[in-house]
């Protein structure tokens, strides 16, 4: 019955999705009642207008968030999606904010992340409402506005509204994400002076801590080029050397990847550090380069630096050496760690600091987002798994990931779709789209999931 009704609503669902996609909802300057700017607020107002047209009660939570509500009772089931998007960038063959439908796809920034999926959930609830299926709990489709730049809207929402007893966010991938590793970022810092024949004037590399750096360069004075050439040949290192008046500029080329999966990339910073460690660098600078080469090197699981942790639900800890800025007198090296869900920050940092005792390096500027972990036998996981299996015919196992999702911002929440296995990662990319078939399948899965949780 749900599937049939959702199929009947396809034209409306696509039209509502287009209405949101035509709004360029990037974070802007805060205005009265519009904490994330006018464009994001326009999208929130449109989502609430669509919800009202579908017959739902709505509420605007002071411009930070809003929701469509159906049913009665004190407890509620939540579906959390976001209306803000990342900048469109370049390389599009379709208008980024045109909401174009062609080739069986809905094109536009936010079509997959996350306007299309949250509209799919809204129409899943609309089908439940139209069929008058009995529910024992309220349901809220919650429209977030700040996921791409901080999730500050959910913190505000939770000051004004109580949390759902169970919820999911259509802002990741199917089948279900039951475990998300903790995220730990910190800076390896040292102050020093240099003397001797070989001087490192600078090392600069990396864009963001959560990206495997694809490029790094260094200016070195007094180095023996023959030693470097020998290293490059023996290790087939993608390092270019340019001689200049000040010395030699070393340019290291790697392969970028997401920081949560550093094994999929090639770290340009660490390849350059390994090459520099073949040189005769005196004093503290030499100790630092040697420490980085031996304690990190090509190790992406933190084993060499005293953080080689593992657990059964989520696997090994991962480490990405993300951004380096070294001068003749200081080092700042930003590190991204994704740690297993049953471990904690203290045991990781204790292991690292013990490993670095004699290195002249200190740890500072620590940031953490804790892990998210539900047992596979948890009621929320089992019911979402059931909904996915009944609609798709696939009884897939829940996933554990190193990345963090919107689920971490809201209690009692897991990530659930919308990207189906094998589809590739289109979020944040030029020509972002969701196929009509996937959008409709998502609506059916979300309608079934809402019913399972609230019936």
pLDDT score at 358: 84
Q: Tell whether 404 and 317 lie within a shared domain.
A: no
State the burial class of residue 32 (Cβ atoms within 10 Å of its Cβ: 0-12, 13-18, 19+): exposed
Q: Tell whether 162 and 187 lie within a shared domain.
A: no
Q: Tell whether 81 and 165 lie within a shared domain.
A: yes
pLDDT score at 258: 87
Cα 151 from Cα 326, distance rounded (Å): 32
Q: Which of 46, 100, 113, 147 is catalytic?
A: 147
Cα 374 from Cα 299, distance rounded (Å): 29
pLDDT score at 17: 98
pLDDT score at 416: 97
Largest CA distance in the chain: 81
Query: Per the structure, how many domains does the chain have?
Result: 2
In whole numbers, what is the pLDDT of the chain averaged over residues? 95
Q: Which of 84, 100, 114, 171 is catalytic?
A: 84
Show which of 333, 350, 369 is a domain's final residue: 369
| Helix, strand, or coil (residue 59) | strand
DSSP string, 299-343: -SSSTTTT---EETTTEE-EEEEEEEEE-SSEEEEEEEEEE-TT-
The secondary element (H helix, E strand) that includes residue 234 is helix 225-235
State the burial class of residue 204 (Cβ atoms within 10 Å of its Cβ: 0-12, 13-18, 19+): middle
Q: Tell whether 361 and 215 lie within a shared domain.
A: yes
State the pTM of this model.
0.87
Q: Give the torsion sign (CA, 346, 348, 352, 357).
A: positive
> Catalytic annotation on 245?
no
Q: Per-residue pLDDT for 424 more than 80?
A: no
Q: Per-residue pLDDT for 272 more than 90?
A: yes
pLDDT score at 138: 97
**Other beta carbons within 10 Å of 93:** 7
Q: Tell whether 383 and 351 lie within a shared domain.
A: no
pLDDT score at 153: 97
Q: Tell whether 266 and 331 lie within a shared domain.
A: yes
Tokens of 449: 């999931």
Cα 333 from Cα 324, distance rounded (Å): 4
In contact, 290 and 360? CB cutoff 8 Å: no
Domain around 234: 182-369
| From 143-157, 207-221, 400-414, 422-436, the region with the lowest mean pLDDT | 422-436
Q: Per-residue pLDDT for 425 more than 80?
A: no
> Catalytic annotation on 147?
yes
The string of pLDDT tens digits covering residues 342-353 is 999 999 999 999
pLDDT score at 403: 84
Q: 186 phi and psi, to 5 degrees?
A: -155, 165
Show which of 345, 369, 393 is a domain's final residue: 369
In contact, 181 and 370? CB cutoff 8 Å: no
């Amino acid at each position: 019955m749900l599937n049939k009704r959702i199929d009947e609503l396809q034209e409306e669902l696509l039209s509502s999705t287009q209405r949101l996609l035509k709004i360029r909802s990037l974070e802007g300057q805060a205005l009265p009642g519009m904490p994330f700017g006018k464009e994001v607020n326009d999208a929130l107002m449109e989502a609430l207008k669509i919800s009202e047209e579908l017959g739902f009660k709505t509420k605007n939570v002071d411009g930070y968030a809003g929701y469509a509500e159906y049913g009665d009772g004190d407890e509620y089931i939540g579906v959390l999606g976001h209306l803000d998007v990342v900048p469109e960038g370049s390389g599009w063959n379709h208008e980024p904010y045109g909401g174009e439908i062609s080739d069986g796809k809905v094109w536009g920034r936010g079509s997959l992340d996350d306007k299309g999926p949250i509209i799919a959930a809204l129409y899943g609830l609309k089908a439940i409402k139209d069929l008058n299926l009995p529910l024992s709990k309220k349901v809220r489709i919650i429209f977030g506005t700040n996921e791409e730049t901080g999730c500050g809207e959910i913190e505000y929402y939770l000051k004004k509204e109580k949390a759902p007893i169970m919820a999911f966010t259509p802002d990741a991938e199917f089948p279900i994400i039951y475990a998300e590793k903790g995220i730990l970022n910190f800076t390896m810092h040292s102050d020093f002076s240099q003397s001797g024949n070989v001087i490192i004037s600078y090392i600069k590399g990396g864009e963001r801590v959560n990206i495997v750096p694809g490029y790094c360069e260094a200016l070195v004075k007094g180095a023996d080029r023959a030693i470097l050439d020998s290293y490059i040949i023996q290790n087939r290192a993608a390092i270019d050397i340019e001689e200049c008046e000040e010395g030699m500029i070393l340019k290291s080329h790697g392969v970028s990847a997401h920081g949560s999966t550093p094994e999929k990339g090639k770290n340009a910073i660490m390849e350059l550090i390994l090459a520099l460690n073949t040189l005769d660098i005196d004093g503290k600078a030499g100790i630092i380069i040697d420490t980085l080469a031996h304690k990190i090197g090509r190790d992406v699981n933190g084993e060499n630096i005293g953080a080689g942790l593992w657990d059964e639900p989520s696997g090994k800890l991962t480490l990405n050496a993300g951004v380096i800025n070294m001068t003749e007198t200081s080092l700042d090296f930003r590190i991204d760690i994704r740690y297993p869900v049953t471990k904690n920050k203290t045991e990781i940092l204790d292991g690292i600091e013990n490993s670095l005792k004699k290195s002249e390096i200190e740890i500072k500027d620590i940031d953490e987002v804790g892990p998210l972990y539900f047992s596979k036998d948890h009621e929320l996981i089992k019911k979402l798994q059931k909904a996915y299996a009944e609609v798709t015919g696939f009884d897939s196992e829940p996933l554990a990931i190193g990345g963090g999702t919107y689920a971490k911002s809201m209690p009692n929440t897991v990530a659930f779709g919308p990207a189906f296995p094998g589809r590739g990662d289109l979020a944040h990319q030029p020509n972002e789209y969701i196929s009509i078939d996937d959008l409709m399948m998502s609506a059916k899965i979300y309608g079934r999931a809402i019913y399972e949780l609230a019936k």
